[in-house]
Amino acid sequence: MPDPAPSSPPVPPLIRLTDFGFSYRGAETPALESVDLTLWPGDAVAVLGRQGAGTSTLARAVAGLLGEHGRSTGARELRGGAVLGALPCATPGAGGGHGQSGVGMLGDDPEAQLTGLTRTVREEAALPGRLLGLPLHQCLHRADSSLQALGIAALAERALATLSGGERQLTALAGLLSLRPRVLVLDQPSQALDAGARRRLARSLREFRDAGGAVLLTGHQHDDLTAACDEALFLDQGRPCMAGPGELEQHGVWDARRAPVPRDESQPATPGRVQTALLSVRKLSVQRETTRVLDHIELDLRAGEVTALLGANGSGKSTLLSALAGLLPAEHGVRITGPGGVELAEEPAHRRAGHLAWVGQDPGDQLSASTVWAELLRAVPLGTGGRRLRREDRARAQSQRVLEVEKAMRAAGLSAQAEEHPYDLVPAQRKDCVIASALLLKPAVLLLDEPTLGRDAAGMHRLSSLVRGFTTAGGAVLVATHDQRWAAEISDHQLVLRSGRLQPDT
């Protein structure tokens, strides 16, 4: 933000980076260069860029979480005049941290935002204050008002293990707000949130700013929260660059607020698009704890078509996908008829997997090999004869598998990451790895749970081509998402899950 006019009272900035740069240890090129950023009380600044542009590094720099990971240049000043060249590491958390500097940060990895040290939502929201040594009653009071502000007070006594993805994200945000830092750094905070939750978060951030705090939002997507900032800064290969409002996608940023790009209806119908139902679901009801989350769901997925599954946080989208995959017990009476009329309702998950491939919300749950290459290789079926093949046939089958893995890595944009550990990938690439594994199983139906999280424009386009490639080959896709633009662009049908029932989106 520009310095205030001379008539303004001389309030010092809360934080200022001047000609700031940072290089990770062992890296050949700096992750950040020549960054100037000043946050005054009341400011909200969005820093956007494509994946790898340095936005998360900048978030960690502002939060003071980079110190031991490399070398910084330039200056970082905190209110009070401390000028720090190399930054001290503020209490690092799994996905976020809170330093004594009064800067609180929520990281971009939805799988790593809860501490694992508490049992209930209220305990988790109160924990950051307790770690700072605040009295218990004060921590609980702050936790309750943060939960209230974010609209999840009703979840206070819920066990963390029973939360939906969006509910987890809101719980992590509540913990951070309860710290009452002077600067809030949020890396992709809207991911996994429905429109109502985004609005409540925007309101909470407005109140936080009105009380003298400053907000830094970073990420790869432009949405309602980044639009509410006073200023947007773009990073390109670690350097600040200028961009006009119409140039977001040129800078690799996905514009979730843009009107959906209409389909090219002059294109001939995809060859796989015939009216064959690859999956028919009847009377699917699922109870979780005391709530009937799904109530007599009826659904048909047809060859060549994408069905988008919309609905508020906690409405049951993941529950539906998991139940179809056989990972949750359904109530008696359900019929799940797969390709060729095969009845799947009584089949265990591993037998359904050849027909219905499931990509869950947390990709980490589905990754177990030590490299991307090994992860994908193990997904390719051994083929007819399997381990009983003769040696030369086995060698031929093995080279065929290798070719399939290479093709899958290219399609998922993971060729350069073949030897990396899947956990070293950014969350969107981790998801790509699980999607590529799922496609290698050659299923008829692909079940995708929130595949758009954390993606830049290129990641979104790559996802669209994976999905279109699958339906063009005759597959059917059911995809849960909160991204309404992408849903409108990719899908043939949109269904909304409300009160346990599926309704067409109107």
Ligand X SMILES: Nc1ncnc2c1ncn2[C@@H]1O[C@H](COP(=O)(O)OP(=O)(O)OP(=O)(O)O)[C@@H](O)[C@H]1O
Q: Which residues bind ligand X (CB under 6 A)?
A: 161-167, 192, 288-289, 293, 311, 313-319, 361
List 218's β-bridge partners, or say none: 47, 187
Q: Are 411 and 466 in contact (CB under 8 A)?
A: yes
Structure tokens at 137: 């009653």
By the 10 Å C-beta count (0-12 exposed, 13-18 middle, 19+ buried), 131 is classed as: middle
Closest CB to ligand X among residues 48, 480: 480
Closest CB to ligand X among residues 202, 277: 202
DSSP 237-254: TTEEE---GGGTGGGT-E
Closest CB to ligand X among residues 197, 214: 197
Placement of tokens 């970073």 in the chain: 218
Closest CB to ligand X among residues 101, 188: 188
Nearest distance in Å: CB 313, ligand X: 3
User: In what helix (H) or strand (E) does residue 291 lie, and over which residues does it extend?
Assistant: strand 291-302
Nearest distance in Å: CB 158, ligand X: 7
Helix then strand count (H, E) for the chain reads: 13, 22
Minimal CB distance residue for ligand X: 166
Q: How far apart are CA 468 and CA 132, in angstroms?
A: 50
Q: Which of 197, 195, 213, 194 is nearest to 205 (CA)?
A: 213
Closest CB to ligand X among residues 277, 327: 327
List 495's β-bridge partners, or say none: 309, 504
Closest CB to ligand X among residues 181, 311: 311
Q: Are 24 and 64 in contact (CB under 8 A)?
A: no
Nearest distance in Å: CB 197, ligand X: 8
Map residue 434 onto helix, strand or coil. helix
Nearest distance in Å: CB 111, ligand X: 13
Nearest distance in Å: CB 316, ligand X: 4
Nearest distance in Å: CB 393, ligand X: 44
Structure tokens at 387: 């381990």
Closest CB to ligand X among residues 163, 405: 163
Angle between helices 391-411 and 372-379 (to 10 degrees): 120
Nearest distance in Å: CB 289, ligand X: 4
List 241's β-bridge partners, or say none: 234
Nearest distance in Å: CB 121, ligand X: 10
Nearest distance in Å: CB 163, ligand X: 5
Closest CB to ligand X among residues 161, 259: 161
Closest CB to ligand X among residues 356, 440: 356
Closest CB to ligand X among residues 55, 452: 452
Indicate left, alpha or beta for 240 from its phi (over 0: left) and psi (-120 to 50: alpha): beta
Nearest distance in Å: CB 291, ligand X: 6
Closest CB to ligand X among residues 31, 106: 106
C-alpha distances out from residue 332 to 36, 283, 284, 329, Å: 61, 9, 9, 9
Nearest distance in Å: CB 312, ligand X: 7
Residue 483, phi then psi, degrees to nearest 5: -90, 100
Q: Are 209 and 215 in contact (CB under 8 A)?
A: yes
Q: Are 215 and 87 in contact (CB under 8 A)?
A: no
Q: How far apart are CA 147 and CA 139, in angstroms?
A: 12
